[in-house]
Structure 1
């Protein structure tokens, strides 16, 4: 059971109960901290064929308290900045709210974890990365830490248990402390903690054997990013550009936020336009192919949902579900899997960022938002809404 945080820890939640504050950071990240571009590559952008508008008119959706909501009401409650729906390769709905503009990259938050997972899975498929290797063999500086003692595959499945700097582990507070590593203006007065991602990872000590229990923690992804940098000899930004972004017909450069050493915030510092994320989602939905170009190996893209291996617990409860609730999600290579009848999977971020891909429904949905984080505000059931959109379009 997690200890109740002290009053001194409440400063770490500042701003996360204000949607305007959240929106400023989700749409203006590179104005606040250093960043590095993820190059879109040479050549023109690929086209996104459009369908006649109005295909979602008349639909109602379940709200956070079970009430019926129109699409407009749902998006309002979700603090939506953008919603794009692509069905069978055609853009059937595109909407931007709160002054957010199509050409502006939007923070993906933890949805970025899944993109790095796809890169790692591809490198493993191609024989450049061994999932069973102990992390400290690749990154010696992490020897003796919870991440260095784990295997690469443990990082890909959030299979480590740790505490930072001897503190009792609290997921929400550790997330805020991670943000403070990146952005000095998010640090409380008198802050004396780590100022780089590597310094932060070095304070993690194992509190249990890796590969036994699922624990969603940013450090797994940052350690994985460092593994990939060592294996490939390039930055996370250049790697994502080379392997994915420059090959999907992106219209704009994406970017990563950087710490003071110049390391990318791989677990949540990635920003891209909604249209380019839709292009990426379509590539994955189509078995890793963008037109006649195979971007991601078909064997990797087509088994994100179906390839969950046996072993330590990959099935987890929905966040905030009672402890005795049955497992309703799976987690594989940093992707969330709802275990619905359509083989769906998604990348998910804290403020309502979603890349939802449903192969059997021929569906890709990009949802950008700036939701506040507060137990007083129930989260909008976006996955259920996405599935209703998909089944409606297939009907």
Structure 2
């Protein structure tokens, strides 16, 4: 189990410093706040073949502090709820912990950002969305905000400098304030701030020119989601369903939580089962195809790890990394790129949610967790663990 953080971390956190409390919300979002389904379609689920068990037996990993851990110890340190490993399209390991069940959708948290980036990239490929166009051209209501003055490409690369309601920007605090926008039960006593995503975005003001630096901020994704809704004329849930979910052979409907106005929380309110997210990852690994059906253009699937556009930082720090940690990752179209030798990329969520895709190792990993984020709690090096798994399977 992870250690408890100091009381100084409790401001605005409303229980997310306790893994058990966090787990209750990561696995039961639609029971606590309004939600909208991402329909799986009418057909039956596409089979995921299973390899003989034991493929990861005896494998050792490097854990926090450089300790050597077995798989069970690693998953305990990461507060893991589910681990699913696909190698060359076959399940080689599938495990569920803490009472979490395979058929229950689990919050993907900020991993959802990457799925929205995928939808945007498809629209760009189709010529329906232009990277260089200012957001205000698509969403006139965002005029005068930090997001309205930015381009679509700025949003896709976290390229805005923003403050909300005149406050000095603090990433961790703004994340908690965003949660309070969505869920009344997460608001501190006396809360009088925005009660919808639209109201929240309206308070954003630019504190610098867009495109000058990387600043990981939920508002970029919510503004982009509104752009996509204007372009497609439909909800984020229906867009994801029509473009991808109904074409994956998914087993279950996914869902988004929605705010008081019925707007999806696109930057982190998406939930799905581990098996269905694995199907999504395998589709991308296979060049956008599911069998003989092309779900997304091959050009979109194959260019996620392509170079970061000129003008953006080519190395950035992971949001949960210490302030003195080196900048080692790249960020492109809302996907994280570890810059390893295998061409890997991933969608990542705050509590340990990962969709990790490694084409050179024929690997897709889905990891769900309810780990807390605090300077007092060492983070588990999940990417290194996934690469160790892929190297082991390929050998």
User: Same-fold call, TM > 0.5?
Assistant: yes
Write the distance in 2 (CA, Å) between the matches of 1:10 and 1:45: 42
List per-residue Cα deviations over 1:208-266 (Å, max 9, x = no partner).
00001000000000000000000100000000000000001001000000000000000
- The answer on 1:365 being equivalent to 2:356 is no
SS in 2 for 1:277: helix
Is 2:84 aligned against 1:84? yes
Q: Is the 8 A contact 2:82 2:274 kept in 1?
A: yes
Classify 1:162/1:36 alpha carbon distance in 2 versus 1 (closer, same or farther; 3 Å): same
- Give the Cα–Cα distance (whole angstroms) in 2 for the partners of residues 234 and 219 of structure 1: 20
What is the CA–CA distance in structure 1 between the aligned matches of 2:353 and 2:151, rounded to whole Å?
A: 29
Q: Which range moves more in the overlay, 218-227 or 8-17?
A: 8-17
Query: 1:37-96 CA deviation, whole Å, 9 max, x = no partner?
Result: 000011100000100000000011001110000000000010000000000010000000
C-alpha distance in structure 1 between counterparts of 2:388 and 2:86, whole Å: 14
Shift in Å at residue 16 of structure 1?
1.6
Mapped to 2, the partners of 1:340 and 1:296 lie a distance apart of: 25
Q: Give 1:314-329 correspondences, 5 Å limit.
A: 314-319=314-319, 326-329=326-329
* Aligned residue in 2 for 1:209: 209
| Residue matched to 2:264 | 264
CA contact (8 A) 2:320 2:373 kept: no
* TM superposition shift of 1:323: 5.8
Correspondence for 1:299: 299
User: Displacement, 1:374?
Assistant: 1.6
Given the superposition, is the C-alpha separation of residues 10 and 234 from structure 1 closer, same or farther in structure 2, using an over 3 Å criterion? same
1:142 aligns with 2:142: yes
1:391 equivalent in structure 2? 391
Deviation of 1:306 (Å) = 2.3
Q: Cα distance, 1:373 vs. partner? A: 1.8
Residues 40, 253 of structure 1: 8 Å contact kept: yes
> Partners in 2 of 1:311 and 1:303 — Cα distance?
18
Instruction: Please list the CA deviations of residues 140-168 of structure 1 after superposition, one character each: whole Å capped at 9, or x if unmatched.
Output: 11000000000000000000000000000
Q: 8 Å contact 2:355–2:367 — kept in the other structure?
A: yes
Please tell me whether the aligned partners of residues 316 and 327 of structure 2 are also in contact (alpha carbons under 8 angstroms).
yes
TM-score, reference length from structure 2: 0.96
Say whether residues 1:233 and 2:233 are aligned partners. yes
Q: CA RMSD in A?
A: 1.4
Change in Cα spacing, 1:176 to 1:55, as seen in structure 2 (3 Å) is same
1:275-319 Cα deviation digits (max 9, x unpaired):
000000000000000111101100010110124332221420244
How big is the shift at 1:199?
0.1
Q: Counterpart of 1:256 in 2: which secondary structure?
A: strand
Q: Is the 8 A contact 1:157 1:314 kept in 2?
A: no
User: Do residues 53 (structure 1) and 57 (structure 2) align?
Assistant: no
Q: How does 1:124-139 map to 2 (within 5 A)?
A: 124-139=124-139
Cα displacement string for residues 324-355 of structure 1 (whole angstroms, at most 9, x for unaligned residues)? 65431000000000000000000000000000
Q: TM-score, normalised by structure 1?
A: 0.96
State the Cα distance separating 1:322 from its structure 2 match: 6.3
Residue aligning to 2:170 = 170
| Count of residues paired in the alignment | 389
Once the 2 structures are TM-superposed, how far is the Cα of residue 132 of structure 1 from its aligned partner? 0.7
Unaligned runs of 5+ in 2: 1-6
Pair 1:322–1:40, CA change in 2 (3 A): closer
- Establish whether residue 312 from structure 1 lines up as the match of residue 312 from structure 2: yes
Distance 2:8 2:229 in 1: 37
Tell me the CA shift for residue 13 of structure 1.
1.8
Aligned to 1:224: 224
State the alpha-carbon separation in 2 of the partners of residues 347 and 339 from structure 1: 14
Name the counterpart of 1:33: 33
Change (3 A) 1:272 1:220: same
Give distance in 1, aligned partners of 2:145 and 2:166. 12
What is the CA distance between 1:98 and its match in structure 2?
A: 0.2
Matched residue, 2:109: 109
